[in-house]
């Protein structure tokens, strides 16, 4: 295991060529109660999703605890993602709107506030899946940006929902943005 005091940042050149897996769990070392951690295959903590005192606010932190994004639920299935800490809410990065909300299926539309963040090809994304099963796919037109799935084991009768995998496919999207969109999706039924 890596030194927990040193922030971990994956090599950007490697991340553009191969799919990258993150494993999400509330039981990773170094997490506070209520936090959701995202670790790489070597169990190095990469991102932390932290609840705020308000149920409608969350922060996405890097492995050293520096706030990357704040996620705020506005009303009726609309979320906003801002750069930085929840208290400061700097620049608007993206807006997410729920377009379908059924028991087994949720769909969200993602609109970026700025071309510099997403690039020309990723101006509009769609997230489809089932939050209860922690299963979703993020689409950019006809290509897959990322996908989540529960952790299955051979000969397992019951699949626990406490740990899931996030696979981010090669492309130009920042991994922290993908993790933030998955965080919005997980609370998408509310």
The strand ranges marked E within 26-182 are: 36-39, 45-51, 57-62, 67-75, 78-83, 92-101, 106-112, 124-130, 135-140, 143-150, 163-168
Instruction: Identify whether the C-beta of residue 107 lies closer than 8 Å to the C-beta of residue 98.
Output: yes
Q: What is the pTM of this model?
A: 0.83
Compute the average pLDDT of residues 132-158. Answer: 83
The larger pLDDT score, comparing residue 60 to residue 161, is at: 60
Helices (H) then strands (E): counts for the chain = 3, 12
- Mean pLDDT over 63-70 rounds to 92
Give the pLDDT band of residue 109 (cuts 50, 70, 90).
Answer: very high
Range 20-186: architecture per CATH = Beta Barrel (2.40)
pLDDT at position 151 over 70: yes
User: Residue 5: pLDDT band by 50, 70, 90 thresholds?
Assistant: low
- Read off the pLDDT of each residue in 64-84 and give the average, rounded to a whole number: 91
Pairing of strands 57-62, 45-51: antiparallel
Q: What is the dihedral of CA 71, 13, 141, 177, to 10 degrees?
A: 0
């Amino acid at each position: 295991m890596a030194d927990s005091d040193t922030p971990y940042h994956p090599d950007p050149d490697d991340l553009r060529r191969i799919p990258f897996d993150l494993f999400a769990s509330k039981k990773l070392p170094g997490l506070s109660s209520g936090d959701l951690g995202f670790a790489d295959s070597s169990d190095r903590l990469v991102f932390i999703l932290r609840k705020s005192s308000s149920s409608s606010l969350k922060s996405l932190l890097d492995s050293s605890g520096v706030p990357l994004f704040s996620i705020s639920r506005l009303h009726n299935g609309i979320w906003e993602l801002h750069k930085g800490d929840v208290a400061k809410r700097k620049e608007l990065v993206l807006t997410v709107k729920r377009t379908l909300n059924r028991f087994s299926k949720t769909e969200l539309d993602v609109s970026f506030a700025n071309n510099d963040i997403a690039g020309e090809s990723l101006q509009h994304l769609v997230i489809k899946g089932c939050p209860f099963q922690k299963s979703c796919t993020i689409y950019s037109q006809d290509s897959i940006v990322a996908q989540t799935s529960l952790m299955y084991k051979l000969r397992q009768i019951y699949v626990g929902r406490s740990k899931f995998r996030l696979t981010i496919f090669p492309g130009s999207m920042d991994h922290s943005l993908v993790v933030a969109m998955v965080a919005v999706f997980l609370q998408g039924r509310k």
